[in-house]
Structure 1
Amino acid sequence: MADARDAGVKAEDEVVDLCRELIAIDTSNYGDHSGPGERAAAEYVAEKLDEVGVEPAVYESHPGRSSVVARIPGADPGRAPLLIHGHLDVVPADAADWTHHPFAGELVDGCVWGRGAVDMKDMDAMVLAVLRQRLREGRTPPRDIVLAFLADEEAGGTWGAKWLVDQHPELFADCSEAISEVGGFSVTVAENRRLYLIETAEKGIAWMRLKARGTAGHGSMVNDDNAVTELADAVARLGRHRFPVQLTTTVRTFLEEVCAEFAIPFDEDDVEATVARLGTVAGMIGATLRHTVNPTVLNGGYKANVIPGTATAEVDGRFLPGLEDEFFAEVDRLLGPKVTREFIHHLPAVETEFEGGIVSAMSQALMAEDDGAKAVPYCLSGGTDAKSLQTLGIKNYGFAPLRLPPELNFSGMFHGVDERVPVDGLRFGVRVLDRFIDLS
């Protein structure tokens, strides 16, 4: 690898090595206070920024849970800064399940393989590569850029974005807009036509613990107040319930754009047929048509012949933007009077309008590198650090641009095995981000 401090090093050349080196730092997040890998990754990023004259600050919310924040001055200090943020942690991976070791960062078949290749060390690498080149060349952005490489996103951001927003809001308070992960990737419509999905909305998160109470007793006796039975009935009602389709502004706009591209009428009574045309991303988009609740954990009892007094379960609820109250009302109806709920994790839904100068900048940057590109808004079924940052009034967009081969099941690799990102996609993303910064 060439010396990164050499002004001749180009972002398109450097991005692959940066991505591989980041993947090789195991930043697995198990949802507890561990995180030595996050500290190592934060120090790596801080060093890469320091090499090109940026003075980063490392913030540690808990031993090993480290985030990096830096500010790059722009040409117009009177404009509100642009926030570009990414997370350094990844979900765990079992090497036995993978074709190539998840923390080796191998380059095979034109792709960089490993945990984090798409979620989201690819974007971290693209941002580093672009800004390192710009700084080496003395190219000033139009406005200040605030960079944030964050800990703990994969467990809700408690020790990363949320902690920084709570403890150091001044770092981001003057930012008007932000870009980050899970957006800007292509979906092929035809040979010379691709939709680039810009994330402008996210479903809310409600991880809940359910509890049923009953009368404890001997397993041989008749018991009409069995906590396990009550809980099992409630969990089954939740798990089998199918919420109705409800089209939010973002989802409706997305479906209208898809129908226009496929030259089919927009049938509001059969939107799932439209989603089915989307191939590998159909599952991700389909989950944004309605609220969802999925049971994930059951606990009750400690011995086969003892009826316990309590039983618990955990469920993963996701609610649509603007419809949180009705979601919980329906959940409570399904649970019934004998089962209570409490939050394990509760984060709001997010929705931002798809308009304005920043959206125009995304569209122009994409079309400059792909004349078959069209940017469209979509809603993410999961969640990102945007949930914490939006509390400061920052408009968040998922924009980690990648032009992908049509056969690649990109959405299926988030938290999946054999996660990988095409090298050509990384290089494309670098070019688009560089143009976007100039236009934003």
Structure 2
Amino acid sequence: MIDVETVIADTQRLIGIESTNPGVLEADAADWIESRLRGLGLDVARHPVRPGRDNLSVVIPGADRSAPRLVLVSHMDTVPIGSGWTRDPLGGQIVDGLLYGRGACDMKSGLALTIGLLDALVSTGTVPPADVVCFYTVDEEAPGMLGAYQLVEDGLLRPDDQILAPEPSGMRLRISQMGLRWITLTVTGRMAHAGRAHLGTNAAHVLAHIMVELEAAFEALPFDDDILGRPRFTTGVISGGVATNVVPALVTAELDLRIVPPLVPEDAVTMVERIAADVVRRYDGASFSIEALGARRPPVRASDDSKIVRGLRASYLAVAGREPEVGGADGHEAYTDSAMIAALTGTTSSTVLGPGATDQAHTADEFVPVADLELGSALLWDLVQSW
């Protein structure tokens, strides 16, 4: 069995190693993980992604080397710490059954579960039925998701790999993940004195008009996925203008477009282009440009018949006495390394189930329930033993 106290201690140690992105990044966390695994006698490989930023991999050979591998993918980076904390964000404090800290749920506790599995396999001398492979990636929290891209580029994955990211899902099975496209929209107008505003073309007003029409267009889309729900539109960042009394000639906005089947990222881009073009035609001297931001992220869904999904359901039933919940507030809106791998390779054997809830991810006083680590430890051990 996986020792829960070891998982808790490793989670606390990982929380204490800042790996914010943007920020100090993952090098110190990677060094600690490598040292921890080498201390178990395991061979750890480094796979360069960017200078000073390496993915890690470790393999425990199984009894049947030709069987589909169980592949566990965990990212080492976290979002920045931010403000508003009432607990030490690097302290790993446990209060009333909740373990606090930046990355507590997203996803240093899930990462610690995989270390706990490797520790248990080594310490008990257990040979798993098939290879158990753990990848530890960089840059999951950034637009480009460079670590997942590099895993695929390096050819480290096999077509029949069964992939699980123990990301925060409220211990629900995240069989589907919503797609998204990030876009930078730039609107150009004509500068003028605010006292003579009619002589200019206000880029901010044009942009505001585009935003209103885009919001209405997304609300009017007829698609409502049984798990993912409806498409969503958010303007996350707006910047521009030079002074209160100057008609702005240049304004930019960063857009977050969440999509569900049958939409693909290109459909979202087309919607923005169509609406922006229609709006700027109504303003003399206005124009716009669009630039894609970050990786292309289509919606993905694992197959109900995949070995990983069937295995998780069976192990959950064996351990908890019921099958895992699917759907609900468990982060289908998020995009993980599991989803990116599915998008890049086309696999339908890549999914998410892990400790902590996405409602806590990226927040002040982020926490993971210790009970999730207990259930996750039992679930992961049963999954391997029954593989």
Question: Which of the numbers 58, 71, 89 marks the counterpart of 2:77?
Answer: 89
Corresponding letter in the other structure for 1:98: W
| 1:136 CA drift (Å) | 1.5
Which residue pairs with 1:398 in the alignment? 352
Which residue pairs with 2:285 in the alignment? none
Alignment coverage as a number of residue pairs: 371
Corresponding letter in the other structure for 1:424: A
* Runs of 5+ consecutive residues of structure 1 not aligned to the other structure: 1-8, 187-196, 255-287, 405-409
Q: Does 2:111 match 1:164?
A: no
| CA distance 1:229–1:156, shift in 2 (3 Å) | closer
| 1:203 CA drift (Å) | 1.4
| CA distance 1:16–1:183, shift in 2 (3 Å) | closer
Task: Please give the alpha-carbon distance, in whole angstroms, between the structure 2 residues aligned to 1:386 and 1:360.
Answer: 17
Task: Please give the alpha-carbon distance, in whole angstroms, between the structure 2 residues aligned to 1:150 and 1:240.
Answer: 38
Structure 1 segment 219-368 matched on structure 2, within 5 A: 219-221=194-196, 222-223=198-199, 225-239=201-215, 241=217, 242-244=219-221, 246-248=223-225, 252=226, 254=227, 288-324=228-264, 325-337=266-278, 338=280, 339-345=288-294, 346-368=296-318
| 1:156 CA drift (Å) | 3.4
| 1:363 CA drift (Å) | 1.5
The 8 Å contact of residues 111 and 421 in structure 1, kept in 2 or not, is answered as yes
Corresponding letter in the other structure for 2:310: S
Task: Please give the alpha-carbon distance, in whole angstroms, between the structure 1 residues aligned to 2:161 and 2:327.
Answer: 19
SS at match of 1:376: coil
Corresponding letter in the other structure for 1:295: T
The 8 Å contact of residues 60 and 66 in structure 1, kept in 2 or not, is answered as yes
Which residue pairs with 1:425 in the alignment? 372
Which residue pairs with 1:176 in the alignment? 161
Q: Does 2:190 match 1:215?
A: yes
Structure 1 segment 38-77 matched on structure 2, within 5 A: 38-77=26-65
For structure 1, which segment, 147-156 or 415-424, has the greater mean C-alpha deviation from structure 2 after superposition?
415-424
SS at match of 2:184: strand
| 1:429 CA drift (Å) | 0.9
| 1:183 CA drift (Å) | 6.1
Q: Give the % identical residues.
A: 27
SS at match of 1:323: coil
Corresponding letter in the other structure for 1:229: H
Which residue pairs with 1:388 in the alignment? 340
| 1:29 CA drift (Å) | 0.7
SS at match of 2:359: helix
Which residue pairs with 1:107 in the alignment? 94
| CA distance 1:172–1:128, shift in 2 (3 Å) | same
| CA distance 1:298–1:138, shift in 2 (3 Å) | same
The 8 Å contact of residues 234 and 336 in structure 1, kept in 2 or not, is answered as no
Which residue pairs with 1:376 in the alignment? 326
The 8 Å contact of residues 308 and 350 in structure 2, kept in 1 or not, is answered as no
Task: Please give the alpha-carbon distance, in whole angstroms, between the structure 2 residues aligned to 1:25 and 1:175.
Answer: 34
For structure 1, which segment, 320-329 or 426-435, has the greater mean C-alpha deviation from structure 2 after superposition?
320-329
| 1:306 CA drift (Å) | 3.3
| 1:246 CA drift (Å) | 2.1
| 1:10 CA drift (Å) | 5.4
| 1:240 CA drift (Å) | 5.1
Task: Please give the alpha-carbon distance, in whole angstroms, between the structure 2 residues aligned to 1:214 and 1:294.
Answer: 23
The 8 Å contact of residues 35 and 64 in structure 1, kept in 2 or not, is answered as no
Task: Please give the alpha-carbon distance, in whole angstroms, between the structure 2 residues aligned to 1:151 and 1:388.
Answer: 13
Task: Please give the alpha-carbon distance, in whole angstroms, between the structure 1 residues aligned to 2:327 and 2:202.
Answer: 48
Corresponding letter in the other structure for 1:234: I
The 8 Å contact of residues 193 and 245 in structure 2, kept in 1 or not, is answered as yes
| 1:380 CA drift (Å) | 0.8
Task: Please give the alpha-carbon distance, in whole angstroms, between the structure 2 residues aligned to 1:223 and 1:314.
Answer: 28
Structure 1, residues 266-309: CA drift from partner, whole Å, max 9, x if none? xxxxxxxxxxxxxxxxxxxxxx3111111111122213343343
| CA distance 1:65–1:92, shift in 2 (3 Å) | same
| CA distance 1:21–1:359, shift in 2 (3 Å) | same
Task: Please give the alpha-carbon distance, in whole angstroms, between the structure 1 residues aligned to 2:175 and 2:229.
Answer: 15
Q: Does 2:13 match 1:29?
A: no
Task: Please give the alpha-carbon distance, in whole angstroms, between the structure 2 residues aligned to 1:297 and 1:182.
Answer: 26
SS at match of 1:160: helix
Corresponding letter in the other structure for 1:231: L
The 8 Å contact of residues 2 and 377 in structure 2, kept in 1 or not, is answered as no
The 8 Å contact of residues 139 and 145 in structure 2, kept in 1 or not, is answered as yes
The 8 Å contact of residues 243 and 292 in structure 1, kept in 2 or not, is answered as no
* CA root-mean-square deviation: 2.4
| CA distance 1:155–1:73, shift in 2 (3 Å) | same
Which residue pairs with 1:270 in the alignment? none
Task: Please give the alpha-carbon distance, in whole angstroms, between the structure 2 residues aligned to 1:424 and 1:201.
Answer: 25
The 8 Å contact of residues 2 and 120 in structure 2, kept in 1 or not, is answered as yes
The 8 Å contact of residues 74 and 167 in structure 2, kept in 1 or not, is answered as no
* Runs of 5+ consecutive residues of structure 2 not aligned to the other structure: 281-287
The alignment's TM-score, normalised by the length of structure 2, stands at 0.88
Structure 1, residues 149-194: CA drift from partner, whole Å, max 9, x if none? 111101135432113323x12x1135522001346635xxxxxxxx
